[in-house]
Structures are given as structure tokens and as C-alpha cells.
Amino acid sequence: MPDFYLKRNDTKEPIQATLSDQAGPVDLSGATVRFHMKDRRGVVVVDADAEVVTAASGVVRYQWQAEDTEAAGDFYAEWEVTFASGAVQTFPNENDIGIRIMADVA
């Protein structure tokens, strides 16, 4: 079951998450974040910078672009964080984020 739904060609509602590990929310101070999304065939359809909304509490957001949502279907996504130290960690690391882009009526 998908974690996030939107209609084809919609860009208004961003996808947002709180990144956490076993200790709780991850401090993203000084970090950069990328949002990755692929289709069911494994073709990457989004590989873009994401926004760190609240660094201390691990809140990130990606604002959809028109080309991101032009195809209906099921997609898989993740957040890739590069910390100030250069270390990289992907969230979530136990699975993917399920995204369903629904076909619009007209």
C-alpha cells in the first residue's frame, strides 16, 4: 500500500518526512538531502535536491516539478542524506516510500 498519493500532473502538495533512526529524529545540521524516485521498472524519474525544513528535528521536503508527476503509476522513493562529515545515509533504510500517482479523470 502506498504511503503517499497524488493525481497525475499535480505539483501543489509537496512530499515531506521526518528522517529518523533508532535513536529518534536525525539532526540534519550542515547536511544536504536528495529525493530519489523510480518507477516499477527501476527507471529513475526523480533525482533532485530536497529542502531541509527543520534541521534539528530531521524534517525534509520535496516540491514536485511538472515532469515528476506526468505519468500515472506506482513509484518507490527515498531520501539520501550527505552529512557535513561526508557520510551518506539513505532513509528509510528498512524499505522504500511507496508513491501512487493516480490517473486524473479529465
Task: Give how far Cα 28 sits from Cα of 3, 25, 47, 89, 103, Å.
Answer: 23, 9, 19, 11, 35
SS3 66: helix
User: Are the beta carbons of 43 and 34 closer than 8 angstroms?
Assistant: no
Strand ranges (E), the chain: 4-7, 15-18, 20-21, 24-25, 32-39, 44-54, 59-62, 73-82, 88-91, 97-102
Domain of residue 27: give its range: 4-102
Residue 106's pLDDT is 80
pTM for this predicted structure? 0.94
For the segment 22-80, what is each residue's pLDDT rounded down to a tens digit?
999 999 999 999 999 999 999 999 999 999 999 999 999 999 999 999 999 999 999 99
With bands split at pLDDT 50, 70 and 90, how would you rate the model's confidence at 102? very high
Cross-strand partners of 32: 82
In the DSSP assignment, the letter for residue 9 is T
User: For residue 49, what is the domain's CATH number?
Assistant: 2.60.40.1220
Count of structural domains within the chain? 1
Residue closest to 17 by CA, chosen among 73, 71, 68, 91: 91
